[in-house]
Protein backbone atom coordinates (compact mmCIF):
# COMPACT_ATOMS: atom_id res chain seq x y z
CA UNK A 1 0.00 0.00 0.00
CA UNK A 2 1.16 3.53 -0.75
CA UNK A 3 2.21 5.71 2.22
CA UNK A 4 -0.65 7.59 3.81
CA UNK A 5 -1.07 11.16 2.66
CA UNK A 6 -3.72 13.82 3.04
CA UNK A 7 -5.01 15.45 -0.12
CA UNK A 8 -6.95 18.71 0.15
CA UNK A 9 -9.71 19.21 -2.41
CA UNK A 10 -11.78 22.41 -2.51
CA UNK A 11 -15.25 22.37 -4.07
CA UNK A 12 -17.19 25.45 -5.10
CA UNK A 13 -20.17 25.80 -7.38
CA UNK A 14 -22.77 28.14 -8.89
CA UNK A 15 -20.77 31.39 -8.84
CA UNK A 16 -23.11 32.97 -11.43
CA UNK A 17 -20.41 35.42 -12.41
CA UNK A 18 -21.54 38.99 -13.05
CA UNK A 19 -22.19 41.73 -13.72
CA UNK A 20 -24.50 40.72 -16.53
CA UNK A 21 -24.31 43.10 -19.51
CA UNK A 22 -27.54 44.34 -21.04
CA UNK A 23 -28.44 41.97 -23.87
CA UNK A 24 -29.38 43.09 -27.34
CA UNK A 25 -33.04 42.82 -28.30
CA UNK A 26 -32.43 39.93 -30.67
CA UNK A 27 -30.70 38.00 -27.87
CA UNK A 28 -33.91 38.11 -25.86
CA UNK A 29 -35.93 36.28 -28.52
CA UNK A 30 -35.57 33.04 -26.54
CA UNK A 31 -35.56 31.69 -23.00
CA UNK A 32 -33.11 34.50 -22.22
CA UNK A 33 -36.08 36.91 -21.97
CA UNK A 34 -37.36 35.25 -18.78
CA UNK A 35 -33.83 34.84 -17.48
CA UNK A 36 -33.11 38.54 -17.98
CA UNK A 37 -36.28 39.48 -16.10
CA UNK A 38 -35.36 37.14 -13.24
CA UNK A 39 -31.85 38.57 -13.10
CA UNK A 40 -33.07 42.16 -13.15
CA UNK A 41 -35.72 41.59 -10.48
CA UNK A 42 -33.67 39.69 -7.95
CA UNK A 43 -30.83 37.42 -8.99
CA UNK A 44 -28.42 40.32 -9.49
CA UNK A 45 -28.93 41.15 -5.81
CA UNK A 46 -28.72 37.52 -4.70
CA UNK A 47 -25.36 36.92 -6.37
CA UNK A 48 -22.80 39.33 -4.95
CA UNK A 49 -19.45 39.58 -6.75
CA UNK A 50 -17.71 41.07 -3.71
CA UNK A 51 -18.76 38.04 -1.68
CA UNK A 52 -17.56 35.77 -4.48
CA UNK A 53 -14.17 37.51 -4.58
CA UNK A 54 -13.77 37.20 -0.80
CA UNK A 55 -14.74 33.53 -0.88
CA UNK A 56 -12.27 32.74 -3.68
CA UNK A 57 -9.52 34.56 -1.78
CA UNK A 58 -10.34 32.51 1.33
CA UNK A 59 -10.37 29.31 -0.70
CA UNK A 60 -6.98 30.02 -2.24
CA UNK A 61 -5.57 30.90 1.20
CA UNK A 62 -6.64 27.46 2.46
CA UNK A 63 -4.01 26.01 0.09
CA UNK A 64 -5.95 23.15 -1.51
CA UNK A 65 -4.12 20.66 -3.71
CA UNK A 66 -6.90 20.92 -6.31
CA UNK A 67 -10.16 22.77 -6.91
CA UNK A 68 -13.41 21.35 -8.32
CA UNK A 69 -15.97 23.76 -9.80
CA UNK A 70 -19.34 22.24 -10.67
CA UNK A 71 -21.02 24.66 -13.00
CA UNK A 72 -23.14 27.73 -13.56
CA UNK A 73 -20.43 30.23 -14.38
CA UNK A 74 -23.00 31.94 -16.59
CA UNK A 75 -26.46 33.38 -16.01
CA UNK A 76 -28.38 33.47 -19.30
CA UNK A 77 -25.78 32.18 -21.73
CA UNK A 78 -24.86 35.46 -23.42
CA UNK A 79 -21.73 35.40 -25.62
CA UNK A 80 -20.37 38.28 -23.54
CA UNK A 81 -20.51 36.01 -20.48
CA UNK A 82 -18.06 33.50 -21.92
CA UNK A 83 -15.02 35.77 -21.66
CA UNK A 84 -16.13 36.83 -18.17
CA UNK A 85 -16.31 33.14 -17.25
CA UNK A 86 -12.80 32.54 -18.58
CA UNK A 87 -11.48 35.49 -16.59
CA UNK A 88 -13.05 34.03 -13.44
CA UNK A 89 -11.52 30.61 -14.09
CA UNK A 90 -8.10 32.14 -14.67
CA UNK A 91 -8.38 33.90 -11.30
CA UNK A 92 -9.49 30.67 -9.64
CA UNK A 93 -6.45 28.78 -10.89
CA UNK A 94 -4.61 27.50 -13.93
CA UNK A 95 -6.26 24.64 -15.86
CA UNK A 96 -4.17 21.90 -14.32
CA UNK A 97 -5.13 23.05 -10.83
CA UNK A 98 -8.90 23.47 -11.38
CA UNK A 99 -11.41 21.01 -12.87
CA UNK A 100 -14.72 22.30 -14.24
CA UNK A 101 -18.03 20.76 -15.30
CA UNK A 102 -20.91 22.88 -16.68
CA UNK A 103 -24.39 23.58 -15.29
CA UNK A 104 -27.80 24.36 -16.72
CA UNK A 105 -27.18 28.13 -16.86
CA UNK A 106 -24.08 27.42 -18.94
CA UNK A 107 -26.34 25.69 -21.49
CA UNK A 108 -29.16 28.22 -21.18
CA UNK A 109 -30.06 28.20 -24.88
CA UNK A 110 -28.82 26.21 -27.84
CA UNK A 111 -25.21 27.09 -28.60
CA UNK A 112 -24.47 28.50 -25.16
CA UNK A 113 -22.64 25.44 -23.89
CA UNK A 114 -20.39 25.22 -26.94
CA UNK A 115 -19.54 28.91 -26.61
CA UNK A 116 -18.65 28.53 -22.95
CA UNK A 117 -16.57 25.39 -23.48
CA UNK A 118 -14.69 27.10 -26.30
CA UNK A 119 -13.67 29.67 -23.68
CA UNK A 120 -12.99 27.41 -20.68
CA UNK A 121 -12.16 24.13 -22.42
CA UNK A 122 -8.67 23.86 -20.86
CA UNK A 123 -10.31 23.38 -17.45
CA UNK A 124 -12.18 20.33 -18.79
CA UNK A 125 -9.22 18.71 -20.54
CA UNK A 126 -8.78 15.00 -19.91
CA UNK A 127 -5.32 13.87 -18.81
CA UNK A 128 -5.10 12.00 -22.11
CA UNK A 129 -5.33 15.34 -23.93
CA UNK A 130 -8.99 15.36 -24.94
CA UNK A 131 -11.02 18.53 -24.51
CA UNK A 132 -14.74 19.38 -24.27
CA UNK A 133 -15.82 15.72 -24.08
CA UNK A 134 -17.57 14.15 -21.12
CA UNK A 135 -16.89 12.16 -19.09
CA UNK A 136 -13.27 13.17 -18.62
CA UNK A 137 -10.66 11.72 -16.26
CA UNK A 138 -8.05 13.67 -14.31
CA UNK A 139 -5.65 12.14 -11.79
CA UNK A 140 -4.43 14.32 -8.96
CA UNK A 141 -2.53 12.68 -6.10
CA UNK A 142 -4.66 9.79 -4.77
CA UNK A 143 -7.75 11.16 -6.57
CA UNK A 144 -9.28 10.22 -9.90
CA UNK A 145 -11.67 13.03 -10.86
CA UNK A 146 -14.44 11.98 -13.24
CA UNK A 147 -16.16 15.00 -14.82
CA UNK A 148 -19.72 14.63 -16.12
CA UNK A 149 -21.93 17.12 -17.95
CA UNK A 150 -25.63 17.29 -17.06
CA UNK A 151 -25.97 20.63 -18.88
CA UNK A 152 -28.67 20.73 -21.56
CA UNK A 153 -30.81 23.57 -22.98
CA UNK A 154 -34.36 23.47 -21.66
CA UNK A 155 -37.66 25.32 -22.04
CA UNK A 156 -38.46 28.50 -20.06
CA UNK A 157 -38.97 27.87 -16.33
CA UNK A 158 -37.27 24.45 -16.60
CA UNK A 159 -33.79 23.84 -15.16
CA UNK A 160 -33.47 20.07 -15.40
CA UNK A 161 -30.41 18.17 -16.58
CA UNK A 162 -29.61 14.92 -18.31
CA UNK A 163 -26.52 12.75 -18.69
CA UNK A 164 -27.74 10.44 -21.46
CA UNK A 165 -27.11 6.72 -21.83
CA UNK A 166 -23.85 7.11 -23.76
CA UNK A 167 -22.23 9.28 -21.08
CA UNK A 168 -23.44 7.00 -18.29
CA UNK A 169 -22.00 3.95 -20.07
CA UNK A 170 -18.66 5.69 -20.56
CA UNK A 171 -18.57 6.78 -16.91
CA UNK A 172 -19.36 3.21 -15.82
CA UNK A 173 -16.44 1.86 -17.82
CA UNK A 174 -14.14 4.53 -16.42
CA UNK A 175 -15.16 3.91 -12.80
CA UNK A 176 -14.94 0.13 -13.19
CA UNK A 177 -11.44 0.33 -14.65
CA UNK A 178 -10.33 2.63 -11.83
CA UNK A 179 -11.71 0.22 -9.22
CA UNK A 180 -9.67 -2.61 -10.72
CA UNK A 181 -6.32 -0.84 -10.28
CA UNK A 182 -3.97 -2.39 -7.68
CA UNK A 183 -3.87 0.87 -5.71
CA UNK A 184 -7.44 1.97 -6.30
CA UNK A 185 -7.67 5.77 -6.41
CA UNK A 186 -10.31 7.79 -4.60
CA UNK A 187 -12.94 8.09 -7.33
CA UNK A 188 -14.53 11.55 -7.18
CA UNK A 189 -17.45 12.21 -9.53
CA UNK A 190 -18.22 15.83 -10.44
CA UNK A 191 -21.65 16.84 -11.79
CA UNK A 192 -23.81 19.95 -11.61
CA UNK A 193 -27.29 18.56 -10.90
CA UNK A 194 -27.95 16.47 -7.78
CA UNK A 195 -27.61 13.02 -9.37
CA UNK A 196 -29.63 11.04 -6.84
CA UNK A 197 -33.34 10.35 -7.04
CA UNK A 198 -35.22 13.08 -5.21
CA UNK A 199 -32.21 15.39 -5.21
CA UNK A 200 -34.26 18.19 -6.79
CA UNK A 201 -37.91 18.67 -7.61
CA UNK A 202 -39.37 17.97 -11.05
CA UNK A 203 -38.31 20.59 -13.55
CA UNK A 204 -35.00 21.07 -11.74
CA UNK A 205 -33.90 17.46 -11.38
CA UNK A 206 -31.54 15.15 -13.22
CA UNK A 207 -34.03 13.33 -15.42
CA UNK A 208 -31.95 10.13 -15.57
CA UNK A 209 -31.04 10.02 -11.88
CA UNK A 210 -32.36 6.45 -11.67
CA UNK A 211 -29.87 5.38 -14.34
CA UNK A 212 -27.02 7.21 -12.57
CA UNK A 213 -27.84 5.54 -9.25
CA UNK A 214 -28.03 2.13 -10.92
CA UNK A 215 -24.62 2.71 -12.51
CA UNK A 216 -23.04 3.62 -9.16
CA UNK A 217 -24.73 0.55 -7.71
CA UNK A 218 -22.81 -1.59 -10.20
CA UNK A 219 -19.33 -0.03 -10.06
CA UNK A 220 -19.24 2.33 -7.06
CA UNK A 221 -17.45 5.61 -6.36
CA UNK A 222 -15.98 7.25 -3.26
CA UNK A 223 -17.48 10.75 -3.45
CA UNK A 224 -19.95 12.60 -5.67
CA UNK A 225 -19.84 16.42 -5.76
CA UNK A 226 -22.65 18.60 -7.13
CA UNK A 227 -24.19 22.05 -7.02
CA UNK A 228 -27.45 23.44 -8.50
CA UNK A 229 -29.56 23.68 -5.33
CA UNK A 230 -27.53 26.57 -3.85
CA UNK A 231 -27.52 24.88 -0.42
CA UNK A 232 -25.22 22.51 1.40
CA UNK A 233 -26.59 18.96 1.44
CA UNK A 234 -25.57 15.37 2.12
CA UNK A 235 -27.18 12.26 0.66
CA UNK A 236 -26.04 8.72 -0.07
CA UNK A 237 -26.39 6.22 -2.90
CA UNK A 238 -25.56 2.54 -2.65
CA UNK A 239 -22.54 0.93 -4.25
CA UNK A 240 -21.41 -2.73 -4.55
CA UNK A 241 -21.07 -4.53 -1.23
CA UNK A 242 -23.66 -2.32 0.42
CA UNK A 243 -21.31 0.64 0.83
CA UNK A 244 -22.85 4.07 0.86
CA UNK A 245 -21.39 6.69 -1.47
CA UNK A 246 -21.67 10.25 -0.15
CA UNK A 247 -23.34 12.70 -2.53
CA UNK A 248 -22.52 16.19 -1.28
CA UNK A 249 -23.84 19.49 -2.59
CA UNK A 250 -22.24 22.86 -1.92
CA UNK A 251 -23.92 26.29 -1.60
CA UNK A 252 -23.67 28.91 -4.31
CA UNK A 253 -20.27 30.59 -4.10
CA UNK A 254 -21.78 34.07 -4.52
CA UNK A 255 -25.13 33.91 -2.69
CA UNK A 256 -25.82 36.77 -0.32
CA UNK A 257 -28.69 34.77 1.19
CA UNK A 258 -31.05 35.45 4.04
CA UNK A 259 -30.52 32.21 5.96
CA UNK A 260 -27.26 30.54 6.86
CA UNK A 261 -27.76 27.57 4.57
CA UNK A 262 -28.42 29.88 1.63
CA UNK A 263 -25.28 31.99 2.14
CA UNK A 264 -22.14 31.66 0.05
CA UNK A 265 -19.76 28.87 0.96
CA UNK A 266 -17.46 26.16 -0.29
CA UNK A 267 -16.34 22.74 0.95
CA UNK A 268 -12.75 21.87 1.79
CA UNK A 269 -12.10 18.12 1.83
CA UNK A 270 -9.21 16.33 3.49
CA UNK A 271 -8.94 12.90 1.90
CA UNK A 272 -6.68 10.17 3.25
CA UNK A 273 -6.18 6.56 2.26
CA UNK A 274 -7.12 3.97 4.90
CA UNK A 275 -6.81 0.19 5.14
CA UNK A 276 -10.32 -0.24 3.73
CA UNK A 277 -10.68 2.77 1.41
CA UNK A 278 -10.56 6.48 2.14
CA UNK A 279 -11.51 8.76 4.99
CA UNK A 280 -13.14 12.06 4.02
CA UNK A 281 -13.41 15.12 6.21
CA UNK A 282 -15.49 17.95 4.69
CA UNK A 283 -15.40 21.42 6.21
CA UNK A 284 -17.93 24.02 5.08
CA UNK A 285 -16.44 27.49 4.99
CA UNK A 286 -18.60 30.51 4.23
CA UNK A 287 -20.33 33.63 5.41
CA UNK A 288 -20.71 33.90 9.19
CA UNK A 289 -23.86 35.44 10.74
CA UNK A 290 -21.74 38.21 12.26
CA UNK A 291 -19.93 38.85 8.98
CA UNK A 292 -16.69 37.60 7.52
CA UNK A 293 -15.81 34.06 6.52
CA UNK A 294 -15.20 31.06 8.74
CA UNK A 295 -15.91 27.39 9.41
CA UNK A 296 -19.61 26.52 9.50
CA UNK A 297 -19.44 22.79 10.14
CA UNK A 298 -17.47 19.58 9.59
CA UNK A 299 -18.49 16.14 8.37
CA UNK A 300 -16.23 13.06 8.64
CA UNK A 301 -16.86 9.87 6.67
CA UNK A 302 -14.73 6.73 6.73
CA UNK A 303 -14.68 4.11 4.03
Whether residue 2 lies inside any domain: the answer is no
Answer whether residue 45 is part of any domain.
yes
Q: pLDDT at position 292, please? A: 84
Per cent of the chain over pLDDT 90 is: 74
pLDDT of residue 44: 74
Specify the pLDDT at position 4.
Answer: 56
HEC-encoded secondary structure of 131-169: CCCCCEEEEECCEEEEECCCCCCCCCCCCCECCCHHHHH
Contact present, 236 and 244 (Cβ < 8 Å): yes
* CA–CA distance, 8 with 12 (Å, rounded to integer): 13
Assigned domain for 120 exists:
yes
Q: Please name which of 249, 256, 266 lies closest in space to residue 291, comparing C-alpha atoms.
A: 256
Residue 128 domain flag: yes
**CA-based R_g, the chain, Å:** 18
| Confidence band of 2 (pLDDT split at 50, 70, 90) | very low
Confidence class of residue 277 from pLDDT cuts 50, 70 and 90? confident
Is 108 part of any domain?
Answer: yes
pTM: 0.93
**Per residue in 28-47, pLDDT tens?**
667 876 775 777 777 777 89
What is the average per-residue pLDDT within 160-173?
Answer: 98
Q: What is the pLDDT of residue 1?
A: 42
Would you say residue 1 lies in a domain? no
CATH number at residue 185: 3.60.21.10
Residue 5: other Cβ atoms inside 10 A: 11
In a domain, 244, yes or no: yes
Return the minimum-mean-pLDDT range out of 15-24, 107-116, 225-234, 285-294.
15-24
SS3 67: strand
Examine residue 169 and state whether it is found in any structural domain, yes or no: yes
Q: What's the CA gap between 11 and 248, in Å, rounded? A: 10
- Give the structural domain span for 111: 7-300
Span 218-231, mean pLDDT?
97
Per-residue pLDDT band for 303 (boundaries 50, 70, 90) equals low
pLDDT at 260: 44
Q: State the total domains in the chain.
A: 1
| pLDDT given for residue 264 in this prediction | 93
User: 263 vs 58, 130, 169, 257, 287, CA distance in Å?
Assistant: 15, 36, 36, 5, 6
Amino acid sequence: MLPSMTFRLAHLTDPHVGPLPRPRLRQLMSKRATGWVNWSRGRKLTHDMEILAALVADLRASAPDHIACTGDLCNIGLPSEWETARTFMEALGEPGFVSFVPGNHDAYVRGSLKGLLDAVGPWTRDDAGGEKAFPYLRRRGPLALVGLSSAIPTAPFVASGRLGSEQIRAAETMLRDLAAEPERPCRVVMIHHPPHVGGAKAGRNLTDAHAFEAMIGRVGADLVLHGHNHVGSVAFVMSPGGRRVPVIGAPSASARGGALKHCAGYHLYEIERTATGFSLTATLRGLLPEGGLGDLGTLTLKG
